[in-house]
Structure formats: structure tokens, C-alpha cells
């Protein structure tokens, strides 16, 4: 079997015509070594091997021009504690796992290298809680997406995190089959009848409720949708949430149930011996443990490498998203996506959505290959989104855009989740390659990881004090006048508006600065309170938010950062640049 697969891979390599590639295989994992002329080749070969059915993982060590060697960081040998289990990574995956594990009587430490949770792919996620209808059949991500989606309402209610069943239109238009030069009456027929039928059938097979509507019905319910629409399938259970709110809520609930979360703590090495995990070395100290969950997102392959458990390579896929003014929030009634064939990576997923806060969101794009640290948005990305999604709502006033951003998805070359215990190191569990539908799948991913940990021998006794509920945070703008009055009576800071676009009060800002996972910089405050997410994008409130952070934390105003350690907002106090100088003006 292995020889058959190896032969297939070697054929792929030969087809590409590169002679500096060596291939080997072990335990279902393909290893590439050598070099290729470009990053495109690097990705293509990896993906081609990953497509082979019995290939579990692809470790792609091919060098390409510009590929950076991962710098080894210096950790602290000093032992700072012991844990039953260490979770590496504080995104939606790691925090969900932490919260679920806290149901058991365990000493759990989550280590996150950045200054806050959810700073990686989670932060740039487009917030859709997919039903699973759009995933490739038979994949792990499809299975976990369908499962996870059904678990969402419960956890959102327990944690007081916004979750709306916004519904989703899957729409066919005159553009659906435009790529294929077939006569329009055939294309229309396929788009009106065949494609919706296939979608409905798939939904039925997977147990996902869907309804088919004709053009007239669609236009009645969505007056602003394009006149070129032909048919649609409506998915009523499609949901939308707020990815960073959810991640913060999970982290805080986990902490309340005993989990220790270490921020600004980067894992630099993992010590193993006798085939088991012995300890995790971080920049803040060493933790003795026998169990590690690798939820390190873009860096999961590096973490796996440290433990000698590397079975995949992560290649990033950038996605850009556009956000539009809330004023147009009622332009559509439900989210919508356009079915366009061929289904290249560019046209998979994404759509026009309503966020939980009432903004319209277009995107995301899917760009491959992407560079590891590159989250810039190019004018082509913006153009592409404008072009593609205008096909759904051609008259939408695109000039009411208020923000755009990009994130990197952590993808494996098998383009599926990699969730399993390591073949080589006992106690090391991978929760890697979590790209779309990682957000929707997260409750199921956590459940799966827990069951794997049990099989690996982690003793899981029930934590009798586990409390699944998190206290509802104060969201001033959502309260009635009477509730606002009561709140201000208790604490006058809730009566002082600091962000006028989103009506955020000083009281809420102070709350998040002192919360269990504290917001100590402007972006962390922004993600939790929405201060700075409105149409003025912080022009008015940034000085005030920075001032409040300074006051509440004691950090001098001139040292306040935007997000990470060196993202200083200011270069110093006023007049700090007026040196002695010469006397010419």
C-alpha cells in the first residue's frame, strides 16, 4: 500500500519536472525534501500529494526562494510548575478545548504566545457558523462542522455570547455557469433546477434543513438581490456569531473553572523521553507535564516538530474581508452566497453577511500561496471582493465601506483538520490544520480532542464545581433606558460615553481592562467593547481609550500599544523630539 502511494507521489514529482526532490513515506505521512523554484510549486506539490486518499499528512520540507528558516527562540529553563495537561494556542480551538477540559478535575495550563487570546486566525474569521453543507463529502472537517454547528446555541447561551440564526441563501445566477460557454437556456435550466436539487439532496443526506425557492420568491424576500438571480436554496439554521467574543468568553469561563492562562508565553521546546511528553519549555518558564494539546494554528507544525511529532506542514491561506456601515444593515434580510462554477479555491465559501452587530460584511477571499506573516490587504483583494460580491447585490453603495482586514488560515496539505494523537509521542495530541469551518466545528473539535486524550490515558474525573455559565457582560447600548439608569446609579462611569459611534461607555472599557483575560491595549479593548469599530474607526475615541488604559494599568500614556509589544501608538511625550539642536528654525 505504501509503495503504491509512494509511486503516485513520485509520479507527481516527475510531472512537475523538478529533479531536486526526494520523497519518502512513513505511517501514512509523505515527506518531501529538497528544493523547488517557487512557492507556487511548493504548494502545488504538497496539495497534489495531500489529495491522495490514503495520505494522512504531508510534511513539506521543500525549500523555495524566500522560505524563511524558523528562528529558534530561547526559552526559560526555570521550572514554574507542573500541569496535567498543557494546551498550546489560545485561539478558538485552544480555548474551547480548555473550557471543555475544565469540566474535569485537572490542572490545566493554556499557553498563548501573543498578548491576548484570539489574535491569530480567529480574529480575522468571518464569523459564519456553517451548517456543513459546503464542505467536501467525507472529510473530517465536514463531520465536525455538522456536529459543532448543532452545539452552538447551547454554548452561546451559557456564555452570553451573541449567536444568531441569520439564515443563508445559496443563490444561482446568470453568472453561476458563465465560465462554461454553454447555451444560456441550458445553463439556466441547470442553475434553476439541477443545482438546487443537488444542494437539497446533499442537505437531506447530511440532515441539514434546507428549502428551495424560485426567483420570484427570492426577489420578494430580498428586494436588493441581483435581477440576474435564477434560484436559491435557503438554509434557515445558518448561524453567525462573534469569534473573538466567543474565544474570550471560553477563556474566561475556563479560568473560572480553574484553567490557568499564560499570555505572552511562547513555547520554545517540548522535552520528551521514553516516547512520552516530559515538559513544555516556554519563554516564561518550564512546565512539567505528560500531555500536550497542539492548537497552535499557523505554528502547529513547528510545535509538533519540537516534540518530534511532525506529521504535517502548515501552509497559510490569506483571506480578506470588507466591512460596511451599519446604516445599511437592513439592505439584506439573510446572509447570501453565490454558487459559481468551477469551484476553485477562490470561489469557495464567503458571502455577503450580516454580522451580529448589524454591519454588512463581504468576503473572505482565499489566496494561495500566501506568506506566513503577511496580513496586508492589496488593492487587487479589494477589487476582487467588490467584483465578486457585486454579482449578488449590484447596487449596494460600496463607498460606505468602513473597514477591511485580512487573516491567515492555517491549512495542512491534505486540506483537512489534523486531529489525532501522535504516532510517535504518547500524550501529544494534534488539533491542527483548523481552517474553515474551524469556527463552526470548534465545539465538536473540542469534544473529539477530549475523547482522544481519554484514549491516551489522561485521567478525567468529573469536576464537581464546574460552572458552565459566564456572567453576562455589560453592553450599555443594548439596555433599555431604565436598565441604563440603574447601571449608572451603581457606577457613574457607565454614564460617560467614550466611543460615540458604537455608544461604548467608560464603565465598559474599565470592565474589560480588569477582566480575567485582561484587555491591556487598544485593540483588545476594541474587540471586547467595539470601541473603535464604528464609522470613525477610532479617530475620536483612540486618545480616550489609551488614556483610560494608562490610568487603569499605571502604564504611562506614551507607552500604550495598539496590540503587540512593539506596536507603540506614540514615540514619546510631547516635545520629546525637541532636543538641544542648533538655533536655526
Q: Which residues bind to other proteins, rule: CB under 8 A?
A: 327, 373, 375-379, 381-382, 399, 401-405, 481, 484-485, 488-489, 492-493, 495-497, 500-501, 503, 505, 535-540, 542-543, 546-547, 557-558, 561-581, 583-585
Name the minimum Å distance from CB 59 to other proteins: 28
Name the minimum Å distance from CB 431 to other proteins: 27
Q: How far apart are CA 110 and CA 227, in angstroms?
A: 51
Shorter beta-carbon distance to other proteins: residue 328 or 341 = 328
Positive/negative CA dihedral, 108, 109, 110, 115: positive
One-character DSSP codes across 424-488: SSBTEEEEE---TTHHHHHHHHHHHHHHHHHHTT----B-TT-----PPPP-GGGS-HHHHHHHH
Non-local (6+) Cβ contacts of 143 within 8 A are: 132, 444
Rg of the chain over Cα atoms, rounded to whole angstroms, equals 25
Shorter beta-carbon distance to other proteins: residue 167 or 534 = 534
**Residue 324 phi, psi (nearest 5):** -115, 160
Name the minimum Å distance from CB 297 to other proteins: 17
Closest CA to 404 of 385, 426, 423, 417: 385
Cβ-count burial of 395 within 10 angstroms (0-12 exposed, 13-18 middle, 19+ buried)? exposed
Choosing from 16, 130, 388, 566, which is the catalytic residue? 130
Beta strands in 147-266 (DSSP E): 163-164, 168-173, 211-214, 229-235, 239-241, 260-262
Strand (E) or helix (H) holding 202? helix 195-206
Name the minimum Å distance from CB 562 to other proteins: 4
Q: How far apart are CA 71 and CA 32, in angstroms?
A: 21
Q: Are 57 and 418 in contact (CB under 8 A)?
A: yes
Name the minimum Å distance from CB 442 to other proteins: 26
Shorter beta-carbon distance to other proteins: residue 396 or 428 = 396
Name the minimum Å distance from CB 505 to other proteins: 8
User: Which residues partner with 440 through β-bridges?
Assistant: none
Shorter beta-carbon distance to other proteins: residue 137 or 571 = 571
Shorter beta-carbon distance to other proteins: residue 320 or 335 = 320
**Residue 564 phi, psi (nearest 5):** -80, 175
Q: How far apart are CA 498 and CA 514, in angstroms?
A: 17
Q: Are 136 and 112 in contact (CB under 8 A)?
A: no
Set of cell numbers at residue 520 = 491591556
Q: How far apart are the first and last CA of the chain?
A: 79
Name the minimum Å distance from CB 539 to other proteins: 5
Shorter beta-carbon distance to other proteins: residue 461 or 585 = 585
Shorter beta-carbon distance to other proteins: residue 135 or 357 = 357
Name the minimum Å distance from CB 477 to other proteins: 8
Name the minimum Å distance from CB 555 to other proteins: 13
Shorter beta-carbon distance to other proteins: residue 206 or 557 = 557
Number of neighbouring beta carbons within 10 Å of residue 400: 14
Whether 430 is a known active-site residue: answer: no
Q: How far apart are CA 405 and CA 390, in angstroms?
A: 19
Q: Are 382 and 333 in contact (CB under 8 A)?
A: no
Shorter beta-carbon distance to other proteins: residue 206 or 400 = 400
Positive/negative CA dihedral, 369, 371, 375, 379: negative
Positive/negative CA dihedral, 31, 34, 39, 44: negative
Number of neighbouring beta carbons within 10 Å of residue 14: 11
At residue 10, the 3 state secondary structure works out as helix
Catalytic positions, please? 130
Amino acid at each position: 500500500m505504501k509503495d503504491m502511494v509512494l509511486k503516485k507521489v513520485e509520479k507527481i514529482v516527475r510531472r512537475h519536472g523538478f529533479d531536486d526532490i526526494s520523497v519518502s513515506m512513513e505511517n501514512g505521512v509523505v515527506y518531501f525534501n529538497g528544493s523547488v523554484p517557487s512557492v507556487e510549486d511548493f504548494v502545488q506539490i504538497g496539495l497534489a500529494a495531500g489529495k491522495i486518499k490514503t495520505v494522512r499528512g504531508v510534511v513539506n520540507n521543500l525549500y523555495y526562494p524566500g522560505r524563511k528558516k524558523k528562528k529558534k527562540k530561547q526559552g526559560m529553563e526555570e521550572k514554574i510548575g507542573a500541569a496535567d495537561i498543557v494546551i498550546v494556542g489560545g485561539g478558538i480551538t485552544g480555548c474551547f478545548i480548555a473550557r471543555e477540559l475544565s469540566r474535569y478535575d485537572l490542572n490545566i495550563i493554556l499557553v498563548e504566545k501573543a498578548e491576548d487570546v484570539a489574535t491569530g486566525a480567529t480574529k480575522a474569521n468571518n464569523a459564519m457558523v456553517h451548517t456543513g453543507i459546503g464542505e467536501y463529502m467525507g472529510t473530517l472537517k465536514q463531520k465536525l462542522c455538522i456536529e459543532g454547528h448543532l452545539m452552538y446555541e447551547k454554548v452561546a447561551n451559557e456564555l452570553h455570547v451573541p449567536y444568531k440564526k441569520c439564515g443563508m441563501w445559496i443563490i444561482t445566477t446568470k453568472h453561476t455557469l458563465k465560465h462554461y460557454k454553454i447555451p444560456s437556456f441550458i445553463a439556466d435550466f441547470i442553475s434553476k433546477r439541477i443545482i438546487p436539487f443537488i444542494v437539497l439532496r446533499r442537505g437531506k443526506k447530511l440532515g441539514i434543513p434546507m428549502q428551495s425557492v424560485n426567483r420570484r420568491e427570492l426577489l420578494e424576500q430580498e428586494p436588493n438581490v441581483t435581477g440576474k438571480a435564477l434560484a436559491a436554496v435557503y438554509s434557515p439554521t445558518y448561524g453567525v456569531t462573534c469569534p473573538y467574543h466567543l474565544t474570550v468568553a471560553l477563556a474566561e469561563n475556563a479560568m473560572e473553572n480553574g484553567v490557568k492562562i499564560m499570555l505572552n508565553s511562547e513555547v520554545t521546546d517540548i522535552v520528551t523521553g521514553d516516547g512520552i511528553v516530559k515538559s513544555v519549555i516556554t519563554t516564561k518558564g518550564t512546565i512539567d507535564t505528560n500531555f500536550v494539546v497542539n492548537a497552535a494554528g499557523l505554528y502547529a507544525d513547528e510545535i509538533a516538530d519540537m516534540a518530534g511529532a511532525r506529521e504535517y506542514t502548515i501552509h497559510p491561506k490569506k483571506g480578506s474581508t470588507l466591512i460596511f456601515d451599519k446604516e445599511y444593515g437592513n439592505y439584506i434580510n439573510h446572509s447570501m452566497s453565490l454558487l459559481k462554477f468551477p469551484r476553485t479555491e477562490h470561489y469557495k465559501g464567503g458571502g455577503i453577511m450580516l454580522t451580529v452587530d448589524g454591519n454588512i460584511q463581504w468576503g473572505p477571499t482565499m489566496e494561495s500561496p500566501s506568506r506566513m506573516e503577511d496580513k496586508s490587504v492589496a488593492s487587487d483583494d479589494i477589487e476582487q471582493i467588490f467584483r465578486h460580491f457585486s454579482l449578488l447585490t449590484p447596487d449596494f453603495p460600496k463607498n460606505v465601506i468602513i473597514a477591511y482586514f485580512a487573516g491567515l488560515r492555517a491549512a495542512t496539505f491534505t486540506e483537512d483538520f489534523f486531529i489525532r494523537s501522535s504516532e510517535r509521542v504518547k500524550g501529544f495530541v494534534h488539533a491542527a490544520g483548523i481552517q474553515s469551518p474551524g469556527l463552526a466545528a470548534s465545539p465538536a473539535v473540542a469534544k473529539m480532542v477530549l475523547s482522544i486524550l481519554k484514549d491516551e490515558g489522561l485521567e478525567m474525573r468529573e469536576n464537581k464545581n464546574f460552572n458552565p455559565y459566564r456572567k453576562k457582560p455589560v453592553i450599555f447600548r443594548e439596555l433599555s433606558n431604565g436598565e441604563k439608569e440603574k447601571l449608572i446609579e451603581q457606577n457613574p462611569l457607565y454614564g460617560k460615553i467614550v466611543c460615540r459611534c458604537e455608544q461604548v461607555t467608560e464603565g465598559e472599557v474599565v470592565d474589560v481592562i480588569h477582566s480575567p483575560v485582561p484587555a491591556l491595549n487598544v485593540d483588545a479593548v476594541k474587540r471586547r467593547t467595539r470601541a473603535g469599530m464604528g464609522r470613525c474607526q477610532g479617530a475620536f475615541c483612540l486618545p480616550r481609550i489609551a488614556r483610560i488604559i494608562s490610568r487603569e494599568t499605571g502604564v504611562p500614556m506614551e507607552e500604550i500599544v495598539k496590540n503587540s509589544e512593539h506596536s507603540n501608538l506614540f514615540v514619546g511625550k510631547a516635545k520629546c523630539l525637541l532636543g538641544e539642536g542648533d538655533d536655526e528654525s
